[in-house]
Amino acid sequence: TDCVFEQDSTSYAGTDPLNSGLICIAGGSVTIKSTEFKNYKFGSEASIILLYQEDPAIKYQNELFITSSSSFENITQSGDQCLGGTAIRGYTVTSDNKFQIDSNTLFKSCISQNGDGGAINLVCKGQWGFIIDTVTFDTCYGKNGGAIYFDFIELFTLINFTNCVFVDCNATNGGSGGALWGSYAASAVTGIDDTTFTRCSCQQEGNGGAFAFIQVNEWSGVNMTRCTFTECATLAGLESQNFGWGGGIFMDIKHSALFQERCFNFLDLVFANCDAAGQGKNIHICTTDIPRIRNDITSNFRITVTAAPDLYTNPDYYQDYMAILDTDVELGTNDENVHKA
C-alpha cells in the first residue's frame, strides 16, 4: 500500500535490461493498493508481476487484486522472443483463481517489443473469475493485443470489463487487436460494458483495430453493451496489403445450430470515424455460415448500433459491416466478391 517502485536511474539509463521481475505469485493472494510501478526496462521474459504455476499436479489458487489508483507507467520489454505482459503475465492450470483490477488503476506506455499483450498477457487453463472495472490503458503496444492478450484454453472463465478506457493502443508487427485480443474455449465468456476505444489500431496483416477475438467453440464468446469506438482502424501494411479487416472489431465465430445466445450480443454500440485498410470499417465477422449469421443478427438483433436503426437495410452501411466465410480466410484477400454485407 502507498509504495513507489522504480528502476534505479543509472540502470534505467543503461543498455542492459533487467532479466527478472518484481513479484511472483505461485499459490497465494496479493493485494496492491495506491502503488506506483514506473520506469522499468525488462528483457524478453520479465514482467512486473508473474502468476506462476510451478507444478500442475498441485491444486493451489492464485489471487491478484490491484486497486485504489495504482499505476504501471513506462514499462518496456525487449528482446528477440518477448513473452508479453510487461505489467502482468501468467500461465496457470488450476481452478478457482481470482483476478481483479479496479478503482482508476492506470496502465500507460506498457510496451512489449514483439510479445503479445503490451500490458497484460494471461494464458489460463482452469476456472477463473476476472473483473476489470474503471481502468485506463493508454499507449500500450504489443503484437496481438496492444494492451491485453487473453488465451483461455478450457473450463469456465468469466471476464467482465466495465467503465474502462483504451486510448492510443496498438497491435504491432502485423498482429491483431489494437487494444484487446482474446481466444475463448469451453465456456469462457467475456462481458464488455460502458467501455471506450479511441484511436486504437493494428496494421495489415492484422485484423481488429480495437478488438479481435476467436471463438473456439459454440459455448464461448463475447457480449458487449454501450461501448464506443472512435477513430479506430486497421492500417495499410508496409509490405502486405492482405487482411486488415474490422476497423473497430474483428470476430472469428463458430456459428452453428448449437450456438449459444449468451455468447454473441453486441448492443447499443457507437462507431465514429473508424476505418479499415481491408474490409469492414466498423465490424468484420469470419463465420462458418454467412446466411445463418446474417439471419441471426437481423432476426434476433445480435448487433445494434446507436443512431443506425436501419443498419441492415440501408446500403450506406455496406462497407461498415462485413463478413467472410472461414474457408476464404487463408489468403487474406480483400476481393469484394468474398466479403459480404
Task: Give one DSSP letter per residue of 273-317, joined into a string.
Answer: S-EESSS-SSEEEEES-HHHHHHHHHHHT-EEETT-TTTTT-GGG
Give the C-alpha separation, 97 to 22, whole Å. Answer: 21
Predicted pLDDT at 308? 81
Give Dmax (Cα) for the chain: 62
Cα 296 to Cα 160: distance, rounded to the nearest angstrom: 24
**Residue 327, C-beta contacts closer than 8 angstroms, at least 6 positions apart:** none
50 in Cβ contact with 84 (< 8 Å): no
In this structure, the number of other CB atoms found within 10 A of the CB of residue 310 comes to: 9
pLDDT of amino acid 299: 78
State the Cα–Cα distance between residues 59 and 95, nearest whole angstrom: 8
Cell of 16: 542492459
Predicted confidence pLDDT, tens digits, the chain (341 residues): 999 999 998 888 888 899 999 999 988 899 999 999 999 999 999 999 998 876 666 667 788 999 999 999 999 999 989 999 999 998 876 667 888 999 999 999 999 999 999 999 998 876 677 899 999 999 999 999 999 999 886 666 778 999 999 999 999 999 999 999 998 776 778 899 999 999 999 999 899 999 999 887 777 788 999 999 999 999 998 877 888 999 999 999 876 665 666 678 899 999 999 999 988 999 999 888 888 888 877 777 788 899 887 776 777 777 888 888 888 887 788 888 787 77
pLDDT value at position 183? 87
- Residue 295 is predicted with a pLDDT of 80
Question: Using CA atoms in the order 1, 17, 82, 210, what is the torsion angle rounded to 10 degrees?
Answer: 60
Residues 6 or more apart from 240 whose CB is under 8 A from it? Answer: 174, 204, 205, 332
User: What is the C-alpha to C-alpha distance for residues 25 and 169, in angstroms, rounded to an integer?
Assistant: 27
Give me the residue spans of the domains in the chain.
Answer: 4-328
Residue 120 contacts residue 90 (beta carbons within 8 Å):
no
First to last CA, the chain: 52
**What pLDDT is attached to residue 335?**
81
Residue 93: predicted pLDDT: 66
The pLDDT of residue 12: 86
Please state, in angstroms and rounded to a whole number, the distance separating the CA atoms of residues 178 and 88: 18
Alpha helix stretches (DSSP H) within the chain: 9-13, 290-300
Q: What is the dihedral of CA 308, 309, 312, 316, to 10 degrees?
A: -40
pTM of the model: 0.95
Contact residues for 239 (Cβ-Cβ < 8 A; gap 6+): none
Contacts of 66 (CB under 8 A, 6+ apart): 31, 32, 100, 101, 102, 105
The CA-CA-CA angle for residues 277, 279, 285, to 5°, reads: 135
As a whole number of angstroms, the distance between CA 119 and CA 131 comes to 16
pLDDT of residue 208: 96
